[in-house]
Amino acid sequence: MMPSGASLCNICGEQLVLSENGELFVACHECSYPICKACFEHEINEGHKVCLKCGTPYEGRTNNDNVDDEREDDDDDIMVHENPSTMASQINNSEDGGGLHARHISTVSSLDIEEVNEESGNSKWKNRMKGWKGKGKGKGKGKDKKNKTKKDAPTAENEAAVPPEQQMEEIRSTDAAALPLSVLMPIVKSKLAPYRTVIIVRLVILGLFFHYRVTNPVESAFPLWLTSIICEIWFAFSWVLDQFPKWSPVNRHTYIENLSARFEREGEPSGLASVDFFVSTVDPLKEPPLITANTVLSILAVDYPVDKVSCYVSDDGAAMLTFESLVETAEFAKKWVPFCKKFSIEPRAPEYYFSQKIDYLKDKVQPSFVKERRAMKREYEEYKVRVNAMVAKAQKTPEEGWTMQDGTPWPGNNSRDHPGMIQVFLGHSGARDIEGNELPRLVYVSREKRPGYQHHKKAGAENALVRVSAVLTNAPFILNLDCDHYVNNSKAVREAMCFLMDPEVGRDVCYVQFPQRFDGIDRSDRYANRNTVFFDVNMRGLDGIQGPMYVGTGCVFNRQALYGYSPPSMVNSPISSCCCCPSSKEVSRVSRDGKRAELDAAIYNLREIDNYDENERSMLISQMSFEKTFGLSTVFIESALMENGGGVPESADPSMLIKEAIHVISCGYEEKTEWGKEIGWIYGSVTEDILTGFKMQCRGWRSIYCMPLRPAFKGSAPINLSDRLHQVLRWALGSVEIFLSRHCPLWYAVGGGRLKWLQRLAYINTIVYPFTSLPLVAYCTLPAICLLTGKFIIPTLTNVASILFLGLFLSIIVTSVLELRWSGVCIEDLWRNEQFWVIGGSSAHLFAVFQGFLKMLAGVDTNFTVTAKAAEDTEFGELYIIKWTTLLIPPTTLIIINMVGVVAGFSDALNGGYESWGPLFGKVFFAFWVIFHLYPFLKGLMGRQNRTPTIVILWSVLLASVFSIIWVKIDPFVNKVDSETIAETCVAIDC
């Protein structure tokens, strides 16, 4: 990792010095690989005439007149069989892949480079070179050194002595190293060009439309007209924020077989990088242990080397039920994991595997499969009975608290005041499956909690797992899952490694995000639980810019990115400013970047930290102020300084590591550190996922969207109306919190130049979309007002105006059609997304705006509770559960007042004659637009048997009635008649 302040030699580590003309010495003009002049001359003297990074020959750059003829002769021998292009690609793979735990493949070149060691100045490479030259001179000692023909003979003999099988294996490995791990496939121009054209045309039409609307006010209904103009301008602004980040969508394809060919050669240890899995749970009564157990089992059975997998389960509620269920799960895993791998079953979560309504014998050829499957299903049923028995027992907590088997009280009886707890169930503890094979590591973690400390909910729990895993396993990559998201594709980790372990693609990748897919949702997806438009359209559009957003689960992280480091390609990037005189914010930003440069430099200088004894190491770490950044743990700091996760020392005492792991999850560990500010999951919002990904991409990292044919992960979604609205409320509240924080994308890191402007538009859209609820509610109320008062927001249409309206509607339709064409999303998903945009905007988003301002400005935390009623015991029975919540009132009120308005409008038209039917058409169309969008909400209220909570009807009818009566009483659009006119009228009346 190169510091951003100064360039250092990659061999000796010394700072590059300037020459007399004030310029840095450059050895290779192709890639500018940083090497000092002394090391360059030493390389030439040693016979190395090619760049260590790109493989370009140092032609004309020896600058050494004292090289004797013998050295020149040796150099000739070295370059005889070398293919510069092969060597260039090989050294590139070694250089870049070394930072990604890539196993370097040997080539058929005579150099046979296996590894480039950046830390020790390529000493292994030099040793291999010397050994090769020794073989070349083996039989030529004592003879004339100038006789080149005699020198070439031993080399040919050595090459001939290589067995043909080994030569073929080397050729195959070379071919495998050259094969790509992934490919980027932009959308074809025949689909993308018309899409972009229509977007521009729609933008032009919008400009002409607003010109017409603003220059043609409706004097008879000016307040209504003005309200509609403001709402329409906001809707257009929201459309721009949502549409233009989808300007360059892309597709990606991975080659898992090439990954195996490159990093898993037969007879050699696997070269794949290690992965730490994080699973978070809080309350086992709300998040059933059986669901969490299925997630854990699917992780333990994943198709990946077992010594490379570790599963950490965070129990933030310190529940003994979660602990005991993991004990049972660890025992069942000893039978389940070998069964999954023996028969290659999918998915590897037993609950979902056994519930599949498919032909489970398809593609199965082993006769024993049916018998073993039947036995495994019986084992799983017995396992479920044991877990469910524990759940039933946990419904009532004893007065004295829970007690463990040895008679001691459970440390987590008080979930808000308990010590940290760690238990290693599987892995290196000696536990093996029923076939004697090693199992992945399974670790239970419950961080310490004490009154008076801020624990930061899920973000704090994830950061505790980062530190624990760094001390115990320190894998270079981290995959986090919610407790209800299981591994649906056993090769999902390999899919991510095709990007993260690719030397060309993975250098600057902070995470690989998978789309969320869900089980248990009805076919019509009434409340858009699948979020298909977001995951299949918006996220693919972002992948063509700087990468998708982090959505909280199903994401594989680069551990170094979580530590707040800058990507390798950005550490030397100049910091640009948008003005000549930087502001105080710009100065503070430069200061922060300066501190980052110091940190990077310190990390670089501590690469040889293993050479220090314990006292020197602790002193050096303290001097470098790492404790102020990472906290008071020497073990964790050393693990953080290992580039890309170097693992833990084999000589480390396990008991010492467990003790240190307990220390790093103490409740006061993060005080006065950068955790939650610059390191790990970022605090400050209930949607910590958006904030964490945003901070990474502001540093210059990019992310990648991986969409395998078989979904990588699947989860469960709240499918009834009330739960869905509360889920959306939480997301919207998090966006409002980010909007009111210092991390607001409108101004955070604007001058850094590392976040692309289209990417910034996408992040701005994620924080301002809840505010669309205000104009949306107003706009959905306008049709009812127009029908009740006889006014309208649009004047009498001219031919030009009619063309503009028609062009606007057509552009909207064509944009949607073309979007469906390149994304593959069906029209029903798009329509459901539009419907729930209105439903959520008029309820959850509206409450989130007010709740967010109350919480951030006044410190008032308002919670909208949900009370569940009994569900019918049928498929999708939960869909028909009726739950009372305040969020149901605004949409219900909108439906009622629009229905009342339609009735009133038709009544007036019947009384007014045929001339009234023309204006009525536009008003009724407007009202039905609102009703059709709110129809799933209305259907959800009625339930399966048209049962609606009485309080919802009472509140909605009351509000609609009061609004109508007050409006009729005030009626601001009726011309006021003065008293003189009234008097004259009264005189004319013949009493």
The single-letter DSSP state of residue 432 is: B
Residues 292/483, Cβ–Cβ less than 8 Å: yes
- Encoded tokens for 278: 């994080």
The position carrying tokens 């597709």 is 251
- The active-site residue, picked from 96, 315, 316, 543, is 316
Residues 713/492, Cβ–Cβ less than 8 Å: yes
The residues near 219 (Cβ < 8 Å, ≥ 6 apart) are none
Distance from C-alpha of 643 to C-alpha of 186, rounded to nearest angstrom: 33
Nearest alpha carbon to residue 966 among 785, 770, 759, 734: 785
Distance from C-alpha of 774 to C-alpha of 227, rounded to nearest angstrom: 11
Bin 198: left if φ > 0, else alpha if -120 < ψ < 50, else beta.
Answer: alpha
Nearest alpha carbon to residue 679 among 628, 629, 604, 734: 629
Nearest alpha carbon to residue 638 among 614, 659, 663, 672: 614
Distance from C-alpha of 20 to C-alpha of 157, rounded to nearest angstrom: 50
Alpha-carbon distances of 722 from 189, 727, 735, 888, 892, rounded to whole Å: 43, 9, 20, 8, 13
The residues near 573 (Cβ < 8 Å, ≥ 6 apart) are 4, 700, 754
Residues 660/630, Cβ–Cβ less than 8 Å: no
Is 112 a catalytic site residue? no
Q: How many CB atoms lie within 10 A of CB 597?
A: 18
Distance from C-alpha of 777 to C-alpha of 897, rounded to nearest angstrom: 12
**Rg of the Cα atoms in the chain:** 34
User: Any known ligand binding at 139?
Assistant: no
The single-letter DSSP state of residue 505 is: T
- The active-site residue, picked from 315, 433, 502, 689, is 689
Q: Quick one: 795 exposed, middle or buried, by C-beta within 10 A (0-12, 13-18, 19+)?
A: middle
Nearest alpha carbon to residue 609 among 642, 631, 561: 642
Alpha-carbon distances of 175 from 80, 108, 160, 261, 332, rounded to whole Å: 22, 10, 21, 9, 42
User: Any known ligand binding at 457?
Assistant: yes
Nearest alpha carbon to residue 320 among 289, 292, 279, 278: 289
Alpha-carbon distances of 283 from 314, 665, 680, 949, rounded to whole Å: 11, 19, 23, 29
Task: Give buried/exposed letters for 481-490 (b at 16+ CB in 10 A, else e).
Answer: bbbbbbbbbb
Q: Report the interhelical angle of 148-161 vs 69-78 (nearest 10°).
A: 30
Kind plus residue range of the DSSP H or E element containing 493:
helix 492-500
- What are the residues facing 517 on neighbouring strands? 714
Angle at alpha carbon of residue 419, lines to 413 and 422, rounded to 5°: 100
Distance from C-alpha of 977 to C-alpha of 980, rounded to nearest angstrom: 8
Output the CA torsion sign for 599, 602, 604, 610: negative
Residues 301/336, Cβ–Cβ less than 8 Å: yes
User: Any known ligand binding at 695?
Assistant: no
User: Any known ligand binding at 287?
Assistant: yes
The single-letter DSSP state of residue 575 is: P
Residues 936/834, Cβ–Cβ less than 8 Å: no
Distance from C-alpha of 885 to C-alpha of 867, rounded to nearest angstrom: 7
CA 657 distance to own-chain centroid: 30
User: Any known ligand binding at 73?
Assistant: no
Is 502 a catalytic site residue? no
Which residues does the annotation place in the binding site? 280, 286-287, 316, 457-458, 482
Which residues does the annotation place in the binding site for Mn(2+)? 458, 482
Active-site residue set: 316, 689
